[in-house]
Amino acid sequence: MITIGGQSLIFEPGQVIIAIDAATSMEAIRPLSQRLIEAELVAPDFLTHIMAREATFPTGLPTEPVGVAIPHTDPEHVHASAMAVGVLSRPVDFGVMGAGDDEVTPVSVIFLLAIAPGTGHMNVLGSLIRLIQDAEFLGGLSNSSAPSIHAAIVDEFSKNSQNK
């Protein structure tokens, strides 16, 4: 369990996948979504809803030193709030959050969010966006093992919640 933006999310070491080999955003998100589906944290059709939302409201962010995406969908497709993190073997284009239809950014790190009904998803997003603005932290994720990534994320959010 991890606390992000005052909200508890299930985030286990097995919910971190490194070296995801993908050519499209859907291929990149699929293994992360599958982990959440297998753990029965989300509905079986979670990926379908993630991709539909991504088509309308893209989540790519042109952060440095690597681009990030924060895909998520409506809470009715979520059984328990959770997060999965993926590091891609090579960047994949995602639509840019809040930009025009044709603007894309290469993404290397994905934070897939599953936010249950009644959870303050904007608090979670805000806290996560603050974290990914730390270039040193973000750069370290792209060159780490899955257990190291899990530990670093848990540590960062633990420090942040203690400093409030």
Cβ-contact 130, 137 below 8 angstroms: no
- Whole-prediction pTM value? 0.95
Over residues 35-51, the pLDDT tens digits come to 999 999 999 999 999 99
Closest to 131 measured CA to CA, from 109, 110, 160, 164: 160
Cβ-contact 110, 71 below 8 angstroms: yes
Over residues 92-101, the pLDDT tens digits come to 999 999 887 7
CA distance 75 to 16: 21
Cβ-contact 66, 142 below 8 angstroms: yes
How many C-beta atoms surround the C-beta of residue 81 within 10 A?
25
